[in-house]
Amino acid sequence: MFYGWRPYVPVAERKRHATREVEKLGKRGRSASPVILDGRTIARTFWGKAWCDNLERYSDFANRLPRGRSYVRNGLVIDLDIAGGRIKALVSGSRVYKVTVDITPVTKARWNSICQDCAGGIDSLVELLQGRFSKGVMERLCLQKKGLFPSLAEIEFSCSCPDWASMCKHVAAVLYGIGARLDKQPELLFTLHKVDQSDLIAKAGGKFPLSRRQPNAEKILGRDDLSELFGLDLVQSTATSTSLRNTDAKPSSTKTWTGMKKKGRA
């Protein structure tokens, strides 16, 4: 079997592949859930930006992330389904490929620790989903290895394409697509981890380390806060807002990797 590079397929042809695949899904009685961006900006809200910024920590995949951003911006993630611990997606390339991303849910002890530390620091579910809370709460939710955003070791992904790179562009596109989806449905982050977001405000009167003690002005979070949190010097397009104040709401073979380790063909 030949595993060489497939001929380059123009974006317009990939989009036609995408349209045909969506039509096929419709005929089979299944509605596709494509990732649709408003312009070129992938994420505008706190949760979407925080997810995408977390991806930049995967420095070993830096050469793949730009291709993934290009794919999602061109509307090539034609179906994205997020459920408890698993994301399934279809991405249009030289053909339509199936991508699966499995994320290790936070443990009960870890979730209880997050809830305990954030108790009293979030007023309401609306405030939580809009990302309007103190910097202390933000830092706790985004804390590496102890927060809600997965480390590389906590992600396993597979794609039906023939690319043997540790992370192919189709997987990268899906990962960025998750960030875009969180823009509109931030509660999916909690669905992905199989936890109840209301737990974070259930102990609003508790006296824990991150109970609110800062003035309300500190609830306005900038991208610089996220960049500092993840230890990054992030480069963003001029179309990306610099503020987080916007609160609008297989072929026969498959490759699979867990974290940094390639697991081989299924």
Q: What is the pLDDT of residues 102-143, one digit of tens each?
A: 999 899 999 999 999 998 888 889 999 988 888 889 889 988
Q: Determine which of 42-51, 199-208, 244-253 has the lowest per-residue pLDDT on average.
A: 244-253
Residue 257 forms part of a structural domain: no
Residue 263 forms part of a structural domain: no
136 in Cβ contact with 235 (< 8 Å): no
Domain that holds residue 162: 11-237
**What is the model's pLDDT at position 80?**
95
**What is the model's pLDDT at position 151?**
86
**What is the model's pLDDT at position 226?**
55
**What is the model's pLDDT at position 159?**
93
Tokens 């104040």, residue located: 245
**What is the model's pLDDT at position 158?**
92
**Section 79-99 average pLDDT:** 90
Residue 243 forms part of a structural domain: no
pTM over 0.85: no
Residue 64 forms part of a structural domain: yes
Q: How many domains does the chain contain in total?
A: 1
Task: Give yes or no for residue 203 having a pLDDT over 60.
Answer: no
**What is the model's pLDDT at position 243?**
39
Residue 148 forms part of a structural domain: yes
**82 φ, ψ (degrees, to nearest 5):** -110, 125
**Spatial distance between the Cα atoms of 104 and 119, rounded to a whole number of angstroms:** 24
Helical H segments across the chain, by residue range: 11-27, 46-55, 65-73, 108-118, 125-129, 135-141, 169-184, 188-192, 223-230
Tokens 């611990």, residue located: 85
Burial class (CB in 10 A: 0-12, 13-18, 19+), 148: buried
Residue 249 forms part of a structural domain: no
Residue 247 forms part of a structural domain: no
Residue 242 forms part of a structural domain: no
